[in-house]
Amino acid sequence: MSLLTDIENVYFLGIGGIGMSALARYFKAYGKRVYGYDRTATPLTDTLESEGMLIHYTDDPQLISPACRQPDRTIVVYTPAIPVDHKEKAWFASHGFRLLKRAQVLGEISRAKKTIGVAGTHGKTTISTMTAHLFTQTGIGCDAFLGGISKNYGTNLLLQPGSRYVVAEADEFDRSMLQLTPYVAVISAADADHLDIYQTHEAVKEAFAQYAAQIQPDGFLLIKQTADVRCPSHVPVYRYALQDAHADFHARHIAIRDGRYHFDLVTPDRTIPDLTLGVPGLVNVENAVAALAVTSMHCQDDDRIRQALQSFTGVQRRFDYHIRTDRLVYIDDYGHHPEELRFTIESVRALYPGRHITGIFQPHLYSRTRDFAPEFAKSLSALDKVILLDIYPAREAPIPGVTSEIILQQITCPDKMLCPMDHIMDYLAGFTPDILLTMGAGNIDRLIGPITELYSRNA
């Protein structure tokens, strides 16, 4: 059964996920009828419905459209976050439907083109979105399946008919990245994460090594200088870093002017001078080095590269400004790993030295909180004020004894507190921050609008 020629309908279980919604948009763009279920309505699912997709929010086989009840005309795509006892999934399985994981579908689609797969425990969404933007704006061209909403294009899917390349975020969760056979593989970090899946850090690193081993013979690996991953011998391996001169690709002469980072890019065969990064944060200079490295291997027009980078406006929920005045700054970020929090907080410190920084953090997953509580506490201790929300469970059941309190106890910043999600706006109504960060991968994004509205009145 071909995904594009032999089917009429695609049914998504968990259609509101960022990776799932990109696939839904892909099939819709190719004329398929798209249906789906998700647990809750969100601005993203509202947008998908406005684009013509039929979605419901109750797990009930009776709600499955009659059009999707013929196994020879419909495939079912599901996210690993769908629980094993999901009623609709069980109905499809018992009635002879073809059920595919999201990663399997992405793997099948991407095999038709040269895939640039961006993997890593953090940084991959920004690097993949930036790479797709650079390929688009320099004229190389690409399709792209992104793990965030590009601010330049207002979507997580880019399609350019006739392009030779597809840029795809390669997710390590559930070993999904191993469904890809990339032409170029980028590995941005290989820190311990998803230990509910991998159990050990060594197993995480081994999965990235397996991913790199699947690179096509005419491709190459680009890996962060400090990533401790076994590299393949059948393709060239290039290292990148922020400023380490021993890396094949690195930045030099980094400076902040007019609130923007300026730098030169050193590559193995040339230096591209006077680059300007259109998004804030020193960590994004490092992300830019990776995206520029891949682009510079496919484009020799440095002026086009320079213009493309300067026009990149970022990704929603990645160091995302919502208020920026002399009196108050509000930034939202998707960071949910201790290293991501550290990068974000350090970047804010660098941009606003001497300012008072308040961070609101929502831990994501009981298992991640249990596994990394000391590391979360260490990163958050760099703030001047810490507000912890309750753990967002996502796909997990509670773990006895694991709450946000185990992070709070280890934070050394004296101004710290717990606050339930449904009380946070009442608290903020009586508190005026200097610099405010919201951080997390759960439903903390629902606070962005209310916080922005609250503080914009006096900003």
CATH number of the domain encompassing residue 401: 3.90.190.20
Q: Which two tokens stand for residue 114?
A: 């040269």
Are 349 and 451 within one domain? yes
Are 169 and 304 within one domain? yes
Q: Provide CB contacts within 8 A for 174, sequence distance 6+.
A: 80, 101, 103, 194, 197
Domain encompassing residue 396: 320-456
Identify the domain boundary among 291, 310, 329.
310
Indicate the residue type of 345. Answer: I
Please report the sign of the dihedral spanned by the C-alpha atoms of residue 415, residue 421, residue 427, residue 428: positive
With vertex at residue 149, the alpha carbon angle to CA 376 and CA 6, rounded to the nearest 5 degrees, is 120
d(CA 147, CA 82): 18
- Let me know if residue 254 belongs to a domain: yes
**For residue 309, which of 327, 294, 324 has the smallest C-alpha distance?**
294
Strands in 260-266's sheet, in edge-to-edge order, are 250-257, 260-266, 271-277
Domains in the chain, number: 3
Q: Provide CB contacts within 8 A for 43, sequence distance 6+.
A: none
- Let me know if residue 2 belongs to a domain: no
Are 93 and 206 within one domain? no
Are 289 and 333 within one domain? no
d(CA 80, CA 395): 9
pLDDT by position in tens, the chain (length 459): 566 677 899 999 999 999 999 999 999 999 999 999 999 898 899 999 999 999 999 999 999 999 999 999 999 999 988 888 999 999 999 999 999 999 999 999 999 999 999 999 889 999 999 999 999 999 999 999 999 999 999 999 999 989 999 999 998 878 889 999 999 999 998 887 776 778 898 998 999 999 999 999 999 999 999 999 999 999 999 999 999 999 999 999 999 888 789 999 999 999 999 999 989 888 899 999 999 999 999 999 999 999 999 999 999 988 999 999 999 999 999 989 899 999 899 989 988 999 999 999 999 999 999 999 999 999 999 999 999 999 999 878 899 999 999 999 999 999 999 999 999 999 999 999 999 999 999 999 999 999 999 999 876
Are 67 and 127 within one domain? no
What is the rounded end-to-end Cα distance, in angstroms, of the chain? 56
d(CA 33, CA 229): 42
Q: Which two tokens stand for residue 71?
A: 């196994």
Identify the domain boundary among 101, 119, 136.
101
**For residue 183, which of 136, 235, 148 has the smallest C-alpha distance?**
235
- Give the helix, strand, coil percentages of the chain, each rounded to 5: 35, 25, 40
Are 277 and 147 within one domain? yes
For residue 220, give the CATH number of its domain.
3.40.1190.10
DSSP letter at 363?
-
Are 136 and 195 within one domain? yes
Structural Rg of the chain based on CA atoms:
22
Q: Which two tokens stand for residue 169?
A: 């975020």
Buried b (16+ CB within 10 A) or exposed e, 303-330: ebbbebbeebebbbbbbbebbeeeebbb
- Let me know if residue 3 belongs to a domain: no
Whole-model pTM: value is: 0.89
